[in-house]
Amino acid sequence: MDKMLHLSVSPHTHCGRSTSSIMLDVIIALLPATIAGVVIFGLNALLVVAVCVAACVGFEYLFNLIAKKEQTIGDYSAIVTGLLLGLNLPATTPIWQCVIGALFAIVVVKCLFGGLGYNFVNPAITARVLMLVSFASVAAPAFPAGVDAAAGATPLVQLANGESFDLLTLLLGNHGGAVGETCAIALILGFLYLLARDVISWEIPVSFIGSVFVFSFLMEGDAMKALALTLSGGLLLGAIFMATDYVTSPTTPAGKLIFGLGCGLLTFLIRYFGSYPEGVSFAILIMNLVVPYIDKLTKHRIYGGKKA
Amino acid sequence: MAFFLNSIPVPLKKNTADKPSVRMTDVKTVMIPMLMHQGTPATPVVKMGDLVKVGTKIAQANGELSSPIYASVSGKVTKVCDYLTASGKYVPAIVITADGEMATEEGLTAPTVNSKDELLAAIRESGVVGLGGAGFPTHVKLNVDFENVETLIVNGTECEPYITSDNHVMNERAGDIEFALSAFKKHLGIKHIVIGVGNNKKTSIENMKELASRIEGAEVIALPSTYSHGSEEAIVFHATKKVLPQGKLPVDIGCVVCNVTTIAEIGKYLKTGMPFVERYVTVDGSCVKEPQCVIAPIGVSLEELFAFVGEFECDPERVVYGGPMMGITVPSLSAPVLKTTNSVLALSEKETKFPKETACIRCGRCTNNCPLGIAPAAIEKAYARKDVEELVALQVTACMECGSCAYLCPAHRPLVQTNKLAKALVKEANN
């Protein structure tokens, strides 16, 4: 008898990319913002991020253990969720609140719905929104040492009050806010990395950020102020890293453009007419819910067939 | 959104493109299955102990959708055994022990061709079938009314990684291609011939342009050489600017597509009377130290063929007929070279290793890179529910199984396999 060979359906080769390599790329892309956050807000920022990451990975491990499911922490998605949650919180967030946020993100939003790929809203965003409405410490921004916190206002609030804000400060991030949201340069670096590695495409960040800029410009009639508004708050972090979450965003380029535009419009409406100063998280969360409908509307036309 | 004919960045690894092909003549035995084409198996006309020469008919076509088979070596018929085809069917196979002479059958003369019927009969007698891989009998494909069918498309795109057999045929057999196309033009009444060549094959393009200049109404187009631009869907679109409607054949929109090697082998028969007994086979893969495009007798075992080009660099994990994207794995190295075998690849464990499967993360790579715009991720979910209605709406039956989705899927989901199963489910439900 001849030696038997491996029989399999085609294709017999693979590009080499995996779920974990994609998650690793996202982690790498978030490193500049994480480092900037620690430099700007001090070691407390590192503690918040580290606790969120550790708690997210720990809860996923425990959930899989208790539910007798295959262990999934090796896909690194829990690390991404933890990082994003930490970067979306002020450096002053108490540790126990971070742990509750991680518990909600991983167990309630992700694992109870079936784990990675089955959650219909972004876990980090949803946890952040829960914390925002529950804990005053999360709603209040942290300020870097040396920055006058007496005014108690982030650039977004100051701009809304008609004050102007220095663009360089916005780019460097030396102002009040959440750990990972203030340094625009670090976030844009991460964006370029994700594009270069073909992890995300341009449609969602560009339509999201672009539409906020356009709406702000229409309201303010001042391009510099619109730009300052665009670089403020959680817009870049949300548009680049949270709205582009594969699981909770549309699949096709057309769908992504619609999704980004919707996020931009909602962010603008909440910022100008809502009771919260910032609307990025709410906007993404709301748009997450309509993804199945956007997907349905924006299917590809199939070669030689009707629109599916 | 018109969003089709995407290609994907699979490395093409055409290692053997610049080396001339080598003919393999020292063969011990050949095993020739009676079914190497689509249709009915051929009927053996030799028995154990018969002496045959290269070009001796050993099996005759059984009905119209069938093809005769000829001995590829000289020697003695020593066995008739069962052969399991890739589609899971047992057919007889004739084993010939070679005498090492490679003596050719006496009295082979070029067929007399003065009409369409005579040409089609000659093509049938040549034993040539669709040599790009499908194996559809060419005399049946060309038996159409060329009053309504304007264009013959000759496919020389060859976009799968590794494979260079069409490339070598275009470089080494331009005379045979020209002979066949001239005969087609004269007797079939074809008005327009488009030869599509992948733009990575510069010499082939020049050769084809030169012969096209001598045939009225013939032209050469250079196609993108990225994967999967060699598909019938792609070449029909590039050649005619028409989209092939689902469930239709090219003939329904006024064209016929033939692989370039098919044309060359028909040309050789029309010129010399020597039927189809050997073919260009690219022997490559990560386990092959010195890859080579070999002119191999039909029926030679892959073991002999791989030994002919040298030793393995490493133990093959999978051995494949055709390319790594769409090829068919063989159960063992005793498998023979078939009429449709344009390439045999010995792939290492490293090259064929798929990392662990995870849940679909909805990254959209499958859907956004499908050359036909199909949504494999959605099909997978619909198939899991056995939702035939949804599978029909997702047009799974259009899938040509090019493998682009599964190649790119970071979750390593078996998308091609699921599409195949989903197609079968839809077909079953329709019956």
User: Would you call A2 an interface residue with chain B, using a CB distance cutoff of 8 Å?
Assistant: yes
Q: What local confidence, expressed as pLDDT, does residue B13 receive?
A: 94
Residue that is written with structure tokens 């909600």 in the block: A104
Q: Of A276, A190, A288, which Cα lies nearest the Cα of A233? A: A276
Nearest to A301 among B1, B331, B345 (CB): B1
User: Would you call A203 an interface residue with chain B, using a CB distance cutoff of 8 Å?
Assistant: no
Nearest to A11 among B325, B330, B370 (CB): B325
**Least CA distance to B233: which residue of chain A?**
A303
Average pLDDT, chain A: 92
- Return the residue in A3, A7, A12, A248 with the most chain B beta carbons within 10 A, the one to mutate for interface testing: A12
Q: What local confidence, expressed as pLDDT, does residue A2 receive?
A: 66
**Least CA distance to A73: which residue of chain B?**
B358
User: Which residues are within 8 A (CB) of B29 and not within 5 positions of it... i.e. 6 or more apart?
Assistant: B75, B78, B95, B96, B97, B98, B301
Reported ipTM: the value is 0.92
Q: Of B183, B367, B197, B268, which Cα lies nearest the Cα of A301? A: B367
Tell me the nearest-neighbour CA distance from B42 into chain A, angstroms: 27
Q: Where are the domains of chain B?
A: 365-430
Chain B residues close to A251, C-beta within 8 Å: 362, 364, 367-368, 375, 377
CB within 8 Å of chain A, chain B residues 130-159: none
Is A306's pLDDT higher than 80?
Answer: no
B3–A300 CB contact, under 8 Å: yes
Residue type, A244: T
Spatial distance between the Cα atoms of A237 and A239, rounded to a whole number of angstroms: 6
A10–B333 CB contact, under 8 Å: no
Spatial distance between the Cα atoms of B370 and B127, rounded to a whole number of angstroms: 35
Nearest to B375 among A18, A300, A304 (CB): A300
With beta carbons less than 8 A apart as the criterion, state whether B347 and B316 touch: yes
User: Would you call B320 an interface residue with chain A, using a CB distance cutoff of 8 Å?
Assistant: yes
Q: Of B391, B387, B389, B379, which Cα lies nearest the Cα of B417? A: B379
> What's the burial of A81, exposed, middle or buried (CB within 10 Å: 0-12/13-18/19+)?
buried
pLDDT in tens, chain B (431 residues): 344 788 898 999 999 999 999 999 999 999 999 999 999 999 999 999 999 999 999 999 999 999 999 999 999 999 999 999 888 889 999 999 999 999 999 999 999 999 999 999 999 999 999 998 889 999 999 999 888 888 999 999 999 999 999 999 999 999 999 999 999 999 998 989 999 999 999 999 999 999 999 999 999 999 998 998 889 989 999 999 888 888 888 999 999 999 999 999 999 999 999 999 999 999 999 999 999 999 999 999 999 999 999 989 999 999 999 999 999 999 999 999 999 999 999 999 888 887 788 999 999 999 999 999 999 999 999 999 999 999 999 999 999 999 999 999 999 999 999 999 999 999 999 88
Q: Where are the domains of chain A?
A: 20-150, 153-173+196-299
**What tokens does B420 get?**
């195949």
Spatial distance between the Cα atoms of B160 and B324, rounded to a whole number of angstroms: 7
Chain A residues close to B4, C-beta within 8 Å: 300-303
